[in-house]
Structure 1
């Protein structure tokens, strides 16, 4: 018997018994259940279990926050429950039974972009570092940048673009690969499709606006413009889904004896042709509309209002899972405008949630048991992972969550009002400043200070003035 035995037995009982478990897996801090009947889970009793730090439902999965000991708890749980281990992919498939069409679409978007985040984080940091050494006049009384004075740093600046270009200009390759992998198509065909969208044979997407003449493929009866889709998101998504659709459907009707030859040929060639004649131009237009609307909204005279709404609403979006849709918008903004003014607000929302938890740590400083939840949650939040803080502390009490939303809103207005732009997405919380374009780092630091101070003070004020009776939970 271990310290996890009794809590595991309680969780099996309150989750509705092993018969109610369709699938179960875990991540870094949470147990993830797909339940046959979610209504059988007794949330109050589950949250009363000593090791449990909170619960929530997202993407069709009932998630129980355990903390850093989740891996050991999980092993004890599946042994007691008598259920087999489930991979994350299997759990996601099973979870579809509890989702509506909108939730399924959001889950698909999340599954597409999540594998790309490590590369996007690295790319954003590289672009930020290149801006610091290449664009800011730091030396000789503010007249020269570092690369203008040092040949070594000039070489570093040039070399790092090799990686930056691979991440962002060739982003469609990653997107089409990820879609093919997720939808059960051949990942290598996804890679080939992506390369056809960014081939050096094509006119670079960044050069289209200034091109005197666009080259074409001349088929006699028709001409197709040879335009590349470097850094374009929506054309790659549309092409990737078409490839996956054609390949998976062809596999069902083509005999196995000739499948290896026929399926790749009749899936890839039509997809590439349609991508360059129909999907690419449509995707480019739609992507431009979306990025123009978002950018214009944030930079208009009413940008502060848009920022206030987004800053206030982002944390609730995380609860629903709708926040995954912002990844595509961020990447489209980067493609169109060389940066994103949306991502800084997301990083600030992370910080605000963490600051509300810090206030709760101060208010409950004599509660040693809660510190075991709140301190790791605050640290995690400041590093960009908000779920433990939101579900373990802020939503549990209610008023800290509201304080964090107001703090996020205020910081977002400061950020957008100062025209802060990030190079890339992926680095959240306090490290988010590393993603900010060098010329905006000072104002982003001011916005960060707002996101730290306002939620902290509001949480304490709410606690002292009776708002502690307010709760988001029934």
Structure 2
């Protein structure tokens, strides 16, 4: 008998037995179930199992928080349940049977942008560092000169780092079209080629369109097409990527396999590139401009504080629904239009606030050893940008710390937007997030960060003594 045999048998029964499991996999701390009938899962009783730290349902998956022992537990569970191993991608595909149309749309966005996040985080840090050495006066007799102006070494570093920054952000459409091809199961190299045709050096750079005296064209005799690039543009790349993938999928069905290797790529790529430059590019550019303009204007208007308060308060609930994945596209669009994003700092502050509420719960429940096994890792991961264990494992279970974090996040967001804080890019969505903030805004962001830490802690302590807090403890039998 294995170490977790009894717990595994108990959990198997509480998820509805082997016949109710469509797919099961695991991540760093959680078991992820795609169930044929989600209603058969008894989450309340599952949380009473010793090894289980909490449960929640997200993106069509019933997720059970196990902790660091999850891989060992998973191996024993699959043997007892008689279910085979599977990949996370397969689990996501199976989970779609439990999603509505909106959830599937959000899942698509998540699948597109998640593979790009490591590069975007690195790019944000690079832009932030270049901003410090190239824009901020800190050298010379009066500390008014930048490091780039007084040092050839730092001037070289500044120029060299732009090689990476340009590759990440100006050529972002290449990453997006690749991610879509990967997600749709179509030919990834075709996605890459399509992306390159959107940012080719032959085209007029997107940043030069507004000041160009003349826009070059392809002249086909009966019609001309403007040779405009879509550097850093998100919407045109998404639209073009999906057109290519759906064309390829359709062509695979109608072209015989014996000649598909030649004709499917040919008849998919050329029309996709033409459609991208004639139709989708211009339309996507207008849509992207409209979205970024609305968001930026809302945040910098007289009522920007109200928009910030609403977003700061509502962001954590958006994470529960999965709608927060939409902000990645908006952030990237803001970056292309305004050389930074004032939306992302609020996201980092919301994550910090949720972690702060968990820290308060650690102090309130310091004698509860079982809960500390969940709350301490959840707090650390939340301050490092991964919020789900904190929210689902602790804050939503008690409710009042979740509310305290939302209020703290709203106040911090108002300070951030009121102070004009801008991030160079998407970054680490927690305490290390300040590294992606533009250097001149660090002081205001640190003030907002302090509020996102202190206010949720104080409010959590206060709410724990109210009727809401007392009822939460009674409901959980504490």
TM over 0.5: yes
C-alpha offsets along residues 83-117 of structure 1, whole Å, 9 cap, x if unaligned? 00011111111111101111111001000000001
Segments of 4+ in structure 1 off by > 6 A? none
2:162 alignment partner, SS class = helix
Instruction: After TM superposition, list the pairs within 5 Å mapping 1:419-430 onto structure 2.
Output: 419-430=420-431
Give me the TM-score of the superposition, normalised by structure 1. Answer: 0.98
**Native 8 Å contact 1:398 1:470 kept in 2:** no
- Residue 63 of structure 2 corresponds to 63
Q: 5+ unaligned residues in a row in structure 2: which ranges? A: none
Deviation at 1:185, TM superposition (A): 1.1
Deviation at 1:58, TM superposition (A): 1.2
Partners of 1:364 and 1:256 in 2: CA distance: 63
Deviation at 1:266, TM superposition (A): 0.5
- Residue 4 of structure 1 corresponds to 4
**Native 8 Å contact 2:54 2:392 kept in 1:** yes
Counterpart check, 1:225 vs 2:253: no
2:261 alignment partner, SS class = helix
Q: Which moved more, 1:461-470 or 1:105-114?
A: 461-470
- Residue 13 of structure 2 corresponds to 13
- Residue 47 of structure 2 corresponds to 47
- Residue 128 of structure 1 corresponds to 128
Instruction: After TM superposition, list the pairs within 5 Å mapping 1:217-296 onto structure 2.
Output: 217-296=218-297
Partners of 1:12 and 1:178 in 2: CA distance: 35
Partners of 1:439 and 1:87 in 2: CA distance: 44
**Native 8 Å contact 1:347 1:429 kept in 2:** yes
1:90 alignment partner, SS class = helix
2:62 alignment partner, SS class = strand
Deviation at 1:295, TM superposition (A): 0.4
Partners of 2:455 and 2:28 in 1: CA distance: 29
- Residue 365 of structure 1 corresponds to 366
Deviation at 1:465, TM superposition (A): 2.6
**Native 8 Å contact 1:397 1:470 kept in 2:** no
**Native 8 Å contact 1:395 1:471 kept in 2:** no
C-alpha offsets along residues 231-290 of structure 1, whole Å, 9 cap, x if unaligned? 000000000000000001101110111111111111000000010000000000000000
Partners of 1:419 and 1:50 in 2: CA distance: 48
Partners of 1:469 and 1:405 in 2: CA distance: 20
**Native 8 Å contact 1:235 1:283 kept in 2:** yes
**Native 8 Å contact 1:204 1:228 kept in 2:** yes
RMSD of equivalent CA atoms: 1.3
Partners of 1:6 and 1:386 in 2: CA distance: 30
Deviation at 1:467, TM superposition (A): 2.6
Partners of 1:410 and 1:83 in 2: CA distance: 48
1:22 alignment partner, SS class = strand
Partners of 1:68 and 1:412 in 2: CA distance: 33
Give me the TM-score of the superposition, normalised by structure 2. Answer: 0.98
Partners of 1:157 and 1:362 in 2: CA distance: 45
C-alpha offsets along residues 135-166 of structure 1, whole Å, 9 cap, x if unaligned? 11011232111111111111111101000000
Paired positions, count: 474
